[in-house]
Structure 1
């Protein structure tokens, strides 16, 4: 069984840790965690697409979603969160109080 600890090596933002089971890329950005309930999905359609596919005038960001039976969990950087914040009048997202 392989184990890796971050204390074993000096790392910077371009480093990647990996073994046969997983790969970890380090990010400098803080990430927001949010959730969308089924009734809020339609209002979140545009920011979801913008986060997944990006836009011509911005750098790509970090975005991940997990669909469960009763909600969608979002993990996103500031660029993607800005897409949801800009659509806040119709896009209902509940955010965790802290960032990762």
Structure 2
């Protein structure tokens, strides 16, 4: 549906063709969701390798990385789309980040 809309906005589909296509897609169930799409969210292989490299020789945990970035572990987890495991053995770790002290210059 989004592609059809975009093609119409770019004047690559006439008004009539756009309406016919939207009707057909709606009839096939594409208005609510794409049928047969069971794909999950993609994750970055690069981020996985970065965290693996931090974990192995440096023994950095997600909590350590979050503290250095001055964010909560949960916030870091959101940034990297669930790549960083939060908590230890199923329990959530609530770490308060050390915020930099701001001063007026």
Normalised to the residue count of structure 2, the TM-score between the two structures is 0.21
Normalized per residue, the structure richer in helix is 2
* Greater strand share, structure number: 1
